[in-house]
Structure 1
Amino acid sequence: MKISRVEAIPYAIPYRKPLAFASGAVATADHVLVRVHTDDGVVGQADAPPRPFTYGETPTSIRSVVTELFAPAIEGLSILDREQVRGRLERTVGNPVAKAAVDMAVWDAIGQTLGASVTELLGGFTDRVRVSHMVGFAEPAAMVAEAERVRDTYGITVFKVKVGRRPYRLDVDVCRALRAGLGDDVELYVDGNRGWTASESARALAEMADLGLTMAEELCPADDVLGRRWLVQQSPIPFFADESVARPGEVTRELLSGAATGISLKTSRTGFTTSQRLVGLCEGLGVEVVVGNQIDTQVGSLCSAAFAAAYELTSRRAAELSNFLDMTDDLLADPLVIEHGELKVREGPGLGIAVDPERLERYRLDT
């Protein structure tokens, strides 16, 4: 059960349309498939989605750090030595997405070796999770049309609305249009990706007070220390931290300082081993968690769903698992299915990731 080899395979699959938001835009899934091989023939897999506008990582940097630093550091360890693996990865500063992918691939290998699903190994709370769909920048009519299509086709009734444009009333108008078009039975929440100042955020929330928003996420930068605390103190709805809480210490800082009242947990950023720590921390503090999306492929969404289903805390809110619907293709041989607004976790050992070799050959960039 020892780690014998670690691979990092870059690939690119276009989206049908770019997803735009305050900190950037994504038109192509320029990702890295990470594989952890064991000496008894098991291959664990996970996806690494670079987000240079958030964490500074690129496909090239992820591939380099995985093959040149991480692989030599963990090869020869047992796949059960999760804490040793984590400790050796943490010797390198930063690179959260690369670390997360290696960690999740190790867990996939563990599950396959032991004959248990990763969800069962992590906690096994449920076998399915509700799905939230993320709607990017567009004109109000286009955003309403997309949300209506997703609701009618997949039964999704929870929507994350990207905001953070200037003037902020562009996004206020969008949220009003979504509420009018979708009715009161649909849950709406907003994510600013640090696009507004604290005062702009306060004005926008005041103008949307009658829309029944359930939470707001990262409306202004974490570096706006006093402004952010001032905003959260007067916010009529919960304020969730996302990009500002990539590490456990950052979660503690934001929550205890009053700069946030909940967190967005992304397995593509903290893997499974560190994400476990975050769940325990938030449970101890009585803090809500939403499982977020890094504009993931089906491989990444499958990892997020496996973790979200493992714990009561992470399964309470709808998880952001559906943006792969906007991709032109995917690597999975057996596509994910969203029905009645829910995604069922794969049964069987590990994560249930079966990559189609022909698709991988078609989209990989290193051959």
Structure 2
Amino acid sequence: MKIERIEAIPYAIPYTHPLRFASGEVHTASHVLIRVHTDDGLVGTADTPPRPYTYGETQKSIITVVDEIFAPQLAGLDPFDREKAQRVMARTVHNDTAKGAVDIALWDLIGQAVGTPVHKLLGGYTDSMRVSHMLGFRPAAELLEEAQRFREQYGVTTFKLKTGRRPLDLDVEAVRVLREGLGDDVEIYLDANRGWTANEAMEVLRRTDGLGLTALEEPCDASEAMSRRRLVEHSSIPIVGDESVPTPGDVSRELLSGGCNAVCIKTARSGFTQATEILGLCTGLGVDVTMGNQIDTQIGSLATVTFGAAHEASQRRAGELSNFLDMSDDLLAEPLEIISGRIHVRDVPGVGIAIDEEKLARYRQD
């Protein structure tokens, strides 16, 4: 079996409402569907979310690097030779989500070829993950209403609050309203998306002490090396690296320098191969991980739960898997379901990504 060609298909599906956070906002899922075709007719599929304010990638840049660099270099390669594919793509710097999608599509091919679900090939620890729902920038009362609806309708009891606003009172108020309205049996953690300085983050932690927060993700930019270290040393809750740790090398740097003491894994930017390396680093050092979200489609969320459920360490915490519900439509032929606060993997060969071809034809932009 050889790779015959790789498709990079641009498409756009609007969100039902804008999703706002410290580093930007999104109104439409302008993504790229990656399809890796083999000479014996198998097709591996993955989704790529352009995030110019996070990784510098756009829809056009992803299509260009796949069409002009990755596709010609990977043509003729056996999909089972994943490490060769990694080395080929590593010659091109950055382009993390483009590389991640190609890797996931290769895993999808391998699972189909051997007739085995990818979550079992990766580890097979369990068949589902608890769901965490991300709450974006909105007035505190609206955030509480959304959280209550997700708890009642889907059984979700873990919420990630997007923070990083100024004045700090906006985020402190939101934490208090959520805690008072949801009670003590709901987990709440924060993600500032580099919106604060380390000193501002310390002030927020001081003012929210006693409200039961479980983590603070990427409070400030990685360039604040000394301040980040001081924040980690003085925080009573884990400081999670996200934008600062897209690769295994970045993870090593931030953990060893004291810039964070927990890590967010996002399969959209690491694929399954580098995500496995990152998870190994973290488990070896006794560092907690979370499974993060790039405001993913159902295709991306299925990839996240496939990896997260495969390993004991990555399924301990609830995964950020629900924001596809903010989309007006999706390409997945069989929609994901959140039942009793959990999403299950697909028990079929590969990742289980079956595309609704009529919807793809409707939303594709090429």
Q: In 1, Cα distance between the equivalents of 2:75 and 2:87?
A: 13
Identity rate of aligned residues, in percent?
Answer: 59
Aligned position for 1:156: 156
Aligned position for 1:234: 234
Show CA shifts across 1:315-336 (max 9, x none): 1000000000010000011100
Show CA shifts across 1:7-40 (max 9, x none): 0000000000011000000110000000000111
Show CA shifts across 1:36-64 (max 9, x none): 00111000000000000000000000001
Aligned position for 1:310: 310
Q: In 2, Cα distance between the equivalents of 1:227 and 1:285?
A: 22
Aligned position for 1:39: 39
Aligned position for 1:321: 321
Show CA shifts across 1:135-156 (max 9, x none): 0000000111111111111000
Aligned position for 1:260: 260
Aligned position for 1:183: 183
Aligned position for 2:365: 365
Show CA shifts across 1:280-321 (max 9, x none): 111111111000000000000000000001100101000000
Q: TM-score, normalised by structure 2?
A: 0.99
Show CA shifts across 1:110-139 (max 9, x none): 101110011011110000010100000000
Show CA shifts across 1:178-213 (max 9, x none): 011111110000000000011111010000011100
Q: In 1, Cα distance between the equivalents of 2:223 and 2:149?
A: 37
Aligned position for 2:206: 206
Aligned position for 2:22: 22
Show CA shifts across 1:80-134 (max 9, x none): 0000001001110000000000000010011011100110111100000101000
What is the letter of the counterpart of residue 192 of structure 2? G
What is the letter of the counterpart of residue 249 of structure 1? G
Q: In 2, Cα distance between the equivalents of 1:263 and 1:277?
A: 12
What is the letter of the counterpart of residue 154 of structure 1? Y
Q: TM-score, normalised by structure 1?
A: 0.99
Aligned position for 1:7: 7
Aligned position for 1:300: 300
Q: In 1, Cα distance between the equivalents of 2:246 and 2:348?
A: 30
Q: In 2, Cα distance between the equivalents of 1:26 and 1:322?
A: 16
For this pair of structures, how many residues does the alignment match? 366
List 4+ stretches of structure 1 deviating above 3 A: none
SS at match of 1:61: helix
CA RMSD between the two structures: 0.5
Matches within 5 A, 1:41-60: 41-60=41-60
Matches within 5 A, 1:216-235: 216-235=216-235
| Gaps in structure 1 of 5+ consecutive residues | none
SS at match of 1:53: coil
